[in-house]
Structure 1
Amino acid sequence: MEPGGAKGKDARERRRGAIEAASAVARRLAIECSHPTILKDANNTIVHLAPAPVVAKVGTTMIRQQALALLERELSIGLHLASRQAPIAPPTSSVPPGPHSHGATVLTLWELRDHDPDRNFEPALLAAALKRFHEAFAGYPGELPAFTGQVEEAGSVLSDPSRTPT
């Protein structure tokens, strides 16, 4: 489908809604956000609340209840990993990380981590980081879904072009 077609319009509306929700939450929490910028738009939309060093992970492709449950679990895991100094971009500590809502949209707030997507890391460094991550995650006390459910959901999304973000 062409960029100006229905899918392109849906993507533009999703991005606009993500920026609107993230900006509204930023205003409510007194986060300086004069230039909200989309960093990634896939199953969730990631918005940098520039110039603040905070990003919003906005649930934009699911119904509110699904997005809320997934973002709550992800935030719980992120807080657990951050408390154990795992190598992650942690939930923000400058304001409550959420989940927050604006209308029917839910989002969580995370610290911005600058990165160079073209940088290559030594395999040993990556292996050490992965080991630290797994060690920190091993003690997670929360409930996790069976992985098979995620595989089935991915298959369902991939088989339905209307559920695949553009």
Structure 2
Amino acid sequence: MSTGNGSADPQTTTARAVAAATEAARELGVEVTEPRVLYEAFSVVVHLAPAPLVARVPTVLPAVPSWNLDLLTARQRNELDVTAWLAEQGVPVAGPSSLVPREPVRGDGFSITYWRYLTPLPDLEPDYAPKPEAVAELHAHLRGYPGDLPFLTTFTEFVPEALRVLESRPDLLRPEDVDRARREWAVLAPVVGSRERFEAEFPGVDLQPVHGDAPSYNLIRAEEGTVYADFELVSIGPRERDMALTGEEAVAAYDVAAARHGLRPLDRRVLAVVENLGMLEAVSSLALVDQLPLLAEALPPMVEQWRSSEFAGGLGRHSD
């Protein structure tokens, strides 16, 4: 599976991403003399110094027929719009930069977004503990978002075709695992692929804008304060999606915080299903190992957890 941007060499891809982000920023009138990579994994994140401007360039993209740059750009517009709206409401968020138009920019096969630079705190120890109270507060803010968002599209856009890739890669995922994943997806896809089917399956479970990518961990601590970040997968969905795989203690703490904001407690049946979806998405991400080799070490523990989990999060059992 090749990269979505045409290069299989991570170093070459990073260099291209930095050059594309720099050139596009200069064309927008920003002085850039010292671009510096801050982070790279699924995206290359670049501080375009001396400007207080950060570029994020997605580089690890599914090379499957359903995926194209227009789809990525649509996601990026949603992220820019949601974070800009949150910032207008006074919510601490890593928002778009005011130095350039609030719009993804194309360059050298990439789709680039630009963000406000946040000053990192020196010698800060990583904090990987869940922050359920912060997630509940974010959900309370997001309920008011007035724009249109898709319904849980990140699963349907990626999982089925990634599993097709893995059918021919037993070095990445055992055939019996691929078989289970495909059978699970057959149970889950009709429900997560349709808002109407989801609401029929889970009556009374309200849907709203959700972060989509573990907001409990996507908090940036900077000199400007602690802010919510990385809304790349923002969509309409159940709030359970944002608390998946955080553990029962974090879920209980979320319920207490949610009550303070007038939100219902998490539905454990929905939580089991979205946790299975999250694991299935991680298993499917093995199809991206050639682009991002670190996944070969990062994903096996999740694969083991998935193997021991209840099939389809119990959805098939409840549907009998």
Q: TM-score, normalised by structure 2?
A: 0.43
> Residue 15 of structure 1: CA displacement?
0.7
> Residue 98 of structure 1: CA displacement?
1.7
Match of 1:154 in 2: 282
Match of 2:57 in 1: 58
> Residue 67 of structure 1: CA displacement?
2.6
**Paired residues, what number?**
155
- Map 1:1-166; keep pairs closer than 5 Å: 10-62=9-61, 63-116=68-121, 118=124, 129-140=134-145, 141-146=147-152, 149=155, 151=278, 152-164=280-292, 166=294
CA separation in 2, counterparts of 1:165 and 1:85? Answer: 39
Contact 1:22 1:56 in 2 (8 A): yes
- Code of the residue aligned with 2:88 in structure 1: it is S
> Residue 164 of structure 1: CA displacement?
2.8
Secondary structure of 2:290's match?
A: helix
> Aligned in 2, Cα 1:160/1:109: closer, same or farther, shift over 3 Å?
closer
> Aligned in 2, Cα 1:21/1:145: closer, same or farther, shift over 3 Å?
farther
CA separation in 2, counterparts of 1:34 and 1:106? Answer: 21
- Code of the residue aligned with 1:146 in structure 2: it is L
CA separation in 2, counterparts of 1:155 and 1:80? Answer: 34
Task: Tell me the C-alpha RMSD between the 2 structures.
Answer: 2.7
What CA deviation, in whole Å up to 9, does each residue of 1:48-76 have, x standing for no partner?
A: 11111110111212252343232222212
Structure 2: stretches of 5+ with no match in the other structure: 1-7, 62-67, 159-277, 295-320
Secondary structure of 2:114's match?
A: strand
Secondary structure of 1:35's match?
A: strand
CA separation in 1, counterparts of 2:88 and 2:101? Answer: 15
> Residue 160 of structure 1: CA displacement?
4.7
- Code of the residue aligned with 1:48 in structure 2: it is H
CA separation in 2, counterparts of 1:69 and 1:47? Answer: 21
What CA deviation, in whole Å up to 9, does each residue of 1:80-124 have, x standing for no partner?
A: 211212111110112213211113211111001112261588x9x
Q: TM-score, normalised by structure 1?
A: 0.78
> Aligned in 2, Cα 1:36/1:165: closer, same or farther, shift over 3 Å?
farther
Contact 2:47 2:53 in 1 (8 A): yes
- Code of the residue aligned with 2:119 in structure 1: it is D
Largest Rg, 1 or 2: 2
> Residue 144 of structure 1: CA displacement?
3.6
